[in-house]
Amino acid sequence: MRFESPDTIEQAVELLNTCDGISRLLAGGTDVLVQLRLALVEPDLIVDIKNIAGMRNITAEDGGFRIGAAVSGAEMGEHEGLVALWPGVVEAMELVGSTQVQGRATLAGNLCNASPAADSVPAMVVANAVARIVGPNGTRDCPVIDIPVGPSKTSLAKGEVITSIYLPARPDNSGDAYLRFIPRTEMDIAVSSAGVNLTIDSAGVVTQAQVSLGAVAPTVLVVDDAAKAIIGTKLDDDAISALQAACSAACNPIDDKRGTVEFRTKTAGVMAKRAALIAYSRAGGSK
Amino acid sequence: MSKIHVSTSINGDAVEYLCDPSETLLDVLRNRVGLTGAKEGCGSGDCGACSVELDGRLVCSCLVLAAEAEGKEVSTVEGMADGEKLHVLQQKILDHAALQCGVCTPGILVAAKALLEKNPDPTETEVRYWLAGNLCRCTGYDKIIRAVMDAAAEMRGA
Ligand SMILES: Cc1cc2nc3c(=O)[nH]c(=O)nc-3n(C[C@H](O)[C@H](O)[C@H](O)COP(=O)(O)OP(=O)(O)OC[C@H]3O[C@@H](n4cnc5c(N)ncnc54)[C@H](O)[C@@H]3O)c2cc1C
Ligand code: FES
Ligand code: FES
């Protein structure tokens, strides 16, 4: 195994693109090091992206924030502007692992590891987050929702690197939230999870919404029917019940030691309901 | 396999080592640098026994490649005491009998020190969440939490 820590993105892309064997990017390493240890992967080349200029910055851009691919969860939580604009995305990232894991884990790593239970992904998807990707053919932007294509599989081509993730500006009176169900209080992988992003008008009526679910299908699910169920409402009981039912109906989970199909299906709806209520109150709505 | 030459700083001292590309920082601290304070409980980020600070950030050294330490500052439990004088946290862990086998203790000390540098006046809940990634199979945690709270109070007073 070769270890490289290039200073420029061009060098990183070149290294990956010209490697004939197995290569892995290294961001926080909290997935990669575990996979090395368990010999799940035996790479010929590891490319550390943390010394590339700009990768460790959070920068304001067009009313939103661009988060460099090597920014850790802990750094996101310490950024007041980011926490104020997208609290749901930050709280999702802060659920990842322990304090120690937080010191290293990144959003882009969580996305590219492509676990169906990755915590930040449902939150990024409802935020309409966009990944900036640099590869052998130049730079492109791709919505986060289109990156994972199955467990441990992404749509990134050989030599492509995510350099940043962009969280856009949002209208006034908007709120987002992410919740997961785990059997413990800390340090566990989601059995089911939900992200909700919504905007309300001055009367407290929801004008736009996005709802997503994690850990209940091979990739993150966007549940349009659940969003439709709350748009035009003040999140009254009927609207909430319809959102919950739409979420449960969308689930296609696995049965394993963490949760049965029935349990995941039920709790996904409950997580969505509670996340919607938190997002509503963050948007300034009162109930 | 060709070795990587790394220049780093450990507890304020300049240190150089040669390592394999796949070696972790924990392996190098223990096997090449002779600092055996950080322990390997799991090797997969779950137990926190290997906790160190890397450029002031609390991390699991089992999840860091040794080659990544190039140009960085590493702090381990060996850097906590001032000569013979124990750090307040170390003294409080002893006073409260907050250890039995002691395997978790170096990681708890490093993690608790990082917490108190960031938040000198944590609530008990904040201490418990901060240390959630430091597993202890002996004490039942309660004495550890008391020791950290007591150390925090003393450090605020001092
Ligand atoms: C103890 C422990 C607890 C955990 N708990 C959780 C949890 O609660 N929830 C959760 O979702 N995850 C959890 N994880 C998994 C992991 O911490 C997260 O997935 C984390 O966000 C990964 O980020 P990283 O920067 O460490 O990724 P790395 O390990 O560096 O990389 C992960 C993958 O993404 C690729 N990659 C990284 N960066 C890029 C990039 N910029 N462009 C393209 N590809 C890239 C890598 O090649 C690799 O395949 C846990 C891990 C540990 C060890
Ligand atoms: S040995 Fe590193 S977390 Fe257990
Ligand atoms: S004292 Fe034995 S593991 Fe904590």
At A34-74, the pLDDT tens digits run 999 999 999 999 999 999 999 999 999 999 999 999 999 99
**Residue A45, in any domain of the structure:** no
CB B40 within 8 A of CB B62: yes
**Residue A161, in any domain of the structure:** yes
Contact list in B for residue A46 (CB cut-off 8 A) is: 21, 65
Which residue from B40, B50, B104 has its CB within 8 A of the most atoms of ligand 3, so it is best to mutate?
B104
pTM here is 0.96
Number of structural domains chain A divides into: 2
Domain that holds residue A107: 51-167
**DSSP sequence for A132-194:** EEEETTEEEEEEGGGSEEETTEESPPTT-EEEEEEE----SSEEEEEEEE-SSSSS---SEEE
**Residue A151, in any domain of the structure:** yes
Q: Are residues A190 and A238 both part of a single domain?
A: yes
Q: Are residues A148 and A191 both part of a single domain?
A: no
**Model confidence pLDDT, tens digit, residues B64-109:** 999 999 999 999 999 999 999 999 999 999 999 999 999 999 999 9
pLDDT at B1: 62
Asked whether this complex has an ipTM greater than 0.90, the answer is yes
d(CA B15, CA B13) in angstroms, rounded, equals 6
**Residue A200, in any domain of the structure:** yes
Q: Are residues A152 and A179 both part of a single domain?
A: no
Report whether residue B48 contacts ligand 2, using a CB cutoff of 6 Å: yes
pLDDT at A210: 98
**3-class SS letters over B72-90:** CEEECHHHCCECCECCHHH
Q: Please tell me if residue A94 touches chain B, with a CB cutoff of 8 Å.
A: no
| Domains in chain B, CATH or no CATH each | 4-79 (3.10.20.30), 88-156 (1.10.150.120)
3-state helix, strand, coil in chain A (%, to 5): 35, 25, 40
Domain end (from A167, A190, A222): A167
Contact list in A for residue B51 (CB cut-off 8 A) is: 100
**Radius of gyration, CA atoms only, chain B:** 16
Q: Are residues A60 and A108 both part of a single domain?
A: yes
> Looking at residue A160, which CATH number applies to its domain?
3.30.465.10
Q: Are residues A65 and A143 both part of a single domain?
A: yes
